[in-house]
Structure 1
């Protein structure tokens, strides 16, 4: 079976972390199918309107369609050229199914599927509203997202939490839940060789990730944190703001900002810590949670999207908007992280989120879609 994935997110030279989970899924499924992928990439100062490159990435054959980025999103007028290139790629690949990632790529995928009479499956990874406020742009995204998802032959999401979100919006389609995958060969167990307990946060430094609440909790616990060190891995436009906030809180000797790191670097840092904290206020899945657990590390996560990933022997689920409960969870984990069985945590992840497991589940769904057995 041949699968042609289409995505706006994929690792590239300017951002090696972009869409890394999309790449993971393509690699995972390539154990069962022949995997082709189209990355539609906006590029400033591109010499021509559209440029196509073809290359091999691990077990995936990738076509990168670079589109010249124009002011005021005028580059959308170049998308008929993208459809033309997609038609050429489809004729070359001859896929059995088209697999879109996020509804923006779903628009082009459904057009291609209609033109070439191919089934389209869509995996949604993002919330339609960019923030919590319901602005006109958010309402437009919700409307467009609902139309696209309802037009696909099947929709996949990585969590039941996100499935409920889509159902509440009124998405009228069959929604299947298949978690994201983790490469358990890259993320392996290790030990903190230092004297201090080390917690770690990995993610975009943004309020939606709960960074404000994390720093405030550490500030409130500061008098009792003589033997604790917190690493913050991630970048973003608020990096300087959070670094200054940490200094204002008097946490310079407790909190260390490491900045953005490549996936390979994160896979080396995680095993040298004691536990992960991801206090997101809203999360579709939280890939870093299963990466940390693949390293045998317990986790503290919020109940907003990550609850179903964690079981009692792998970590703590807490309402991070409850300041006292969140602080107590951190304090308890600092003192008791060794009580979590590292070997069990890693085995749990390998059994549930490994490439072979997730790849097989996608392959079985591909078969059902292609043969009309939904």
Structure 2
């Protein structure tokens, strides 16, 4: 059986259960195959004070050093994120911390065969340093802004390409990210596209009327959801802005983040605050209820690798209206799934929503569309890739269960 070390700062914890949950979900399905054992090293920035008054850093400080999540052992070592020079120094402080944690696992008897890193910068760059020090195969998964934003900076771009050259393989969650990584100078032959899947058991249509009652949705009112961290990139302000033209539409916003106060002010300034409800950050079970209850999900992001929220909503039978960026057209590739916005503006959001209302989607058909995106293909793709890497290095191959 293959033993892997999964490494990323994007990984959930007791304190931040939704942080990087897409990394955990993919790993859980991989381990459930019965062909892989895994330990997780998920470093968090060091901070001296715990508590909500210190925001995200207070939650990092309260993160346990070790925990069990869904049967997986997770270690959260601390690394130093230096003020003002954090982007340049992070790969090095992260690598130092990760190497110590990896060697500790080896001393405990978990001598892993391969490092499975997520997010190219700084995580993948740090993982490359650790892999080189330990002479271990390395696979790095690119997920979005690590390829479509961070390489705009010269020094990170240089380190990303160095890591890509050293890695035995790279995975991208959509074809658009592979194309961009190749344009940056990476070897196309070493990059495999393995898109995220969706948990079709957790996300399902269920009793839609009951969901609407629990959410307190007004009978007969067309209701949208906008889901994601409350940051500029997610475009929640565009969805709020669209309500000026969608006068008979309500909006639920699920997520937390630094832009909440500004978004609330915008809703008030536009005179739509009585039609916008902020739900805060929700666990996945709570998100399922939102997806199942609303009439459509809107995703107005400026950048996305593979937006899991789109598939989650579709699995609940809910069509989507999404900005036409990066990997999103690969998710919303058929009219039965929803609409791509004609432009990424408030008017573009309104136009896409109007089209959804003019041509209603059959919720059962939307669900069937989502069912083609189970995790099975992605899991087998990882197993096959790891098998090829071990064979190429002349290492013992693991047997299929």
Q: TM-score range by the shorter chain?
A: 0.7 to 0.9
Shift of 1:77: 4.9
Normalising to structure 2: TM-score of the pair? 0.82
| Correspondent of 1:318 among 308, 318, 341 | 341
| Correspondent of 1:361 among 339, 363, 381 | 381
1:237 is aligned to 258
Q: 5+ residue gaps in structure 1?
A: none
Is 2:59 aligned against 1:37? no
Q: Deviations over 1:302-323 (max 9, x none)?
A: 1102001112211111233365
Shift of 1:110: 2.1
Q: How far apart, in 2, do the equivalents of 1:151 and 1:348 lie?
A: 38
Is 2:162 aligned against 1:147? yes
Shift of 1:131: 5.8
Q: How far apart, in 2, do the equivalents of 1:90 and 1:289 lie?
A: 39
Q: How far apart, in 1, do the equivalents of 2:389 and 2:94 lie?
A: 31
Is 2:100 aligned against 1:99? no
Q: Which moved more, 1:92-101 or 1:259-268?
A: 259-268
Q: Deviations over 1:243-292 (max 9, x none)?
A: 11011111022221222222232122221112100011211111111111
Q: How far apart, in 2, do the equivalents of 1:155 and 1:67 lie?
A: 25
Asked if the contact 2:226/2:239 (under 8 Å) is kept, the reply is no
Q: Which moved more, 1:178-187 or 1:104-113?
A: 104-113
Q: Which has the higher contact order (CA 8 A, sep 6+)?
A: 1
Q: Deviations over 1:22-42 (max 9, x none)?
A: 000110111222222111111
| Correspondent of 1:169 among 184, 189, 197 | 184
Is 2:76 aligned against 1:64? yes
Asked if the contact 1:21/1:181 (under 8 Å) is kept, the reply is no
Asked if the contact 1:188/1:294 (under 8 Å) is kept, the reply is yes
Shift of 1:20: 0.4
Q: Deviations over 1:217-243 (max 9, x none)?
A: 221333xx2xx2111111211101111
Q: 1:130 to 1:236 in 2, by over 3 A?
A: farther
Within 5 A, what are the aligned runs for 1:225-304?
A: 225=248, 228-304=249-325
Q: How far apart, in 2, do the equivalents of 1:132 and 1:351 lie?
A: 32
Q: 1:46 to 1:4 in 2, by over 3 A?
A: farther
Q: How far apart, in 1, do the equivalents of 2:293 and 2:178 lie?
A: 34
1:24 is aligned to 25
2:100 is aligned to 84
Q: How far apart, in 1, do the equivalents of 2:335 and 2:69 lie?
A: 37
RMSD of the alignment, in Å?
2.7
Is 2:250 aligned against 1:212? no
Shift of 1:335: 4.6
